[in-house]
Amino acid sequence: MRILRLYLSGDGPAFDCPWSLLDSEGRMQAMGTVEDVWPAHDEIELILPAGRTRFCCVELPPGAHMQSGVVLGFALEDSLINDPAENAYAIGPQREGNDYAVALTAVGLLERAQAWLKTRGTTAERILPEEMLLPLPSQGGWSLARARDGLIVRQEPAHARFVPDGAPELLDALCAAGLPLGVTLYGAPLPHVLNRVASQVAPAYDWRCAKSSTVLNFAHGALAGRKSLLQWKMALRRLSYAVLLVLLAEGSLSLIEVGWLSWQRFSLERTIVAQARQFELSALDAPHQMNAPQALRQMSARLERARRKHGLPSPGDALELMAALERVAGSELHPLVFDYRNGQLRFNSDAPSDALEHWRLRLAWHQLRLERDAAAGQMVLALRS
């Protein structure tokens, strides 16, 4: 991964941007000016010079930290000197409670910079404040470094200040609000106002090879680079593929379940037929043990138990009796009342006697008996005992 780091210089539409080329480990491989040909690279990192970014803290309601742009601008409106829509915003990590670190800068400059890069066939994947290139301070301490036109003071992971060379009183005011526990100097002399604070010296700060921090990145939304948008599209495409695979898997499982249930039904029917044949053969092969009616009753009882065990309706159930009656009577059946109890289906019918006799004969073939209960004035349908 080769990163071309550009230091945004000028105000456009053409920019004078010195650059450096970093490898995946952050080591500088080359450097040059805007007149030099840019080396081959994979990504562009645009550095916003120190002093062009304002860092602040804002309290946001739950869930609002996911927003950006003008929504954050309206939350800061009381402290802005311009219209919220004139700024680009980057939200940092949560600090305490619902307080969040927020950085803002002029959106017009960043739009012109991205437009200039597009004329060169590319865009920036990251737009970072120079203040965020300074190493993180120790807990309760500050990191100080010299920039082009002043002093960078990094106080927190997403909070820093820029003190111009012509306004040292800003540092005095910053110290008056509270001195740090310690100061790390990256090539900068110790300011007089910090003489009483413990300090240590570190290698000089250089924007060209300093380790970048993406805790605050302005390249999102309308300012996102083309590669960032492509990464989002690819992520959405992968997500759609995952959803499609889930749907296919669910459909396959449904088909498997339907096939399994069909096989279970076929197996159950085959078992019932095999047991019926076994009962029949047992009755024929052992006439000395029982007579035919006894064998048939025993087979019927065992078959009935097998049907109930597997959740199948009994031939003497109400639904089975009504279904049998409907098959033999058809449209001639005009019952006024159905009453089922104790294995008997009672109903009223005004069908003629010859029709009732015809029903009785057909039902007898199915081991059902149809009789008239003269006392109750009803027909009675039940299993033949």
Mean pLDDT of each 10-residue bin along the chain, 385 residues long: 94 89 93 92 95 90 60 76 88 84 93 93 95 94 94 94 93 94 95 94 95 90 69 55 77 83 81 72 55 63 71 74 85 77 86 87 87 86 83
- Residue 321 contacts residue 328 (beta carbons within 8 Å): no
Q: What type of residue is 111? A: E
Q: What is the pLDDT of residue 231?
A: 47
**What phi and psi, each to the nearest 5 degrees, are found at residue 183?**
-130, 135
| pLDDT of res. 229 | 47
CATH topology (fold) of 1-131+207-223: Nucleotidyltransferase; domain 5 (3.30.420)
What letter would DSSP give residue 82? S
Task: Say if CB 182 and CB 199 are below 8 A apart.
Answer: yes
**Helix/strand number for the chain, H first, E second:** 7, 17
The order of strands in the sheet holding 150-156 is: 159-164, 150-156, 142-146, 183-186, 199-202
| 5 neighbors 47 (Cβ within 8 angstroms) | yes
- In whole angstroms, what is the distance from residue 146 CA to residue 206 CA? 9
Residue 37 burial (10 A CB sphere; 0-12, 13-18, 19+)? exposed
Q: Which fold has domain 318-383?
A: Gyrase A; domain 2 (3.30.1360)
**Nearest residue to 150 via CA among 139, 166, 132:** 166
Fold equal for 135-204 and 318-383: no
The answer to whether the beta carbons of residues 348 and 335 sit under 8 Å apart is yes
pLDDT of residue 351: 82
> Residue 372 burial (CB < 10 Å; 0-12/13-18/19+)?
middle
Exposed / middle / buried, residue 229 (Cβ in 10 Å: 0-12, 13-18, 19+): exposed
pLDDT at 232: 44
b vs e for 199-211, b when ≥16 Cβ sit within 10 Å of the residue's Cβ? beeeeebebbebe
pLDDT score for 302: 74
Of 315, 376, 318, 325, which is closest to residue 344 (Cα–Cα)?
318
Domain ranges of the chain: 1-131+207-223, 135-204, 234-309, 318-383
| 8 Å CB contact between 322 and 362 | no
pTM comes to: 0.58
Topology at the third CATH level for domain 135-204: Nucleotidyltransferase; domain 5 (3.30.420)
CA-based Rg of the chain, rounded to a whole angstrom?
44
pLDDT computed for residue 300 by the predictor: 66
* Amino acid 66: pLDDT: 54
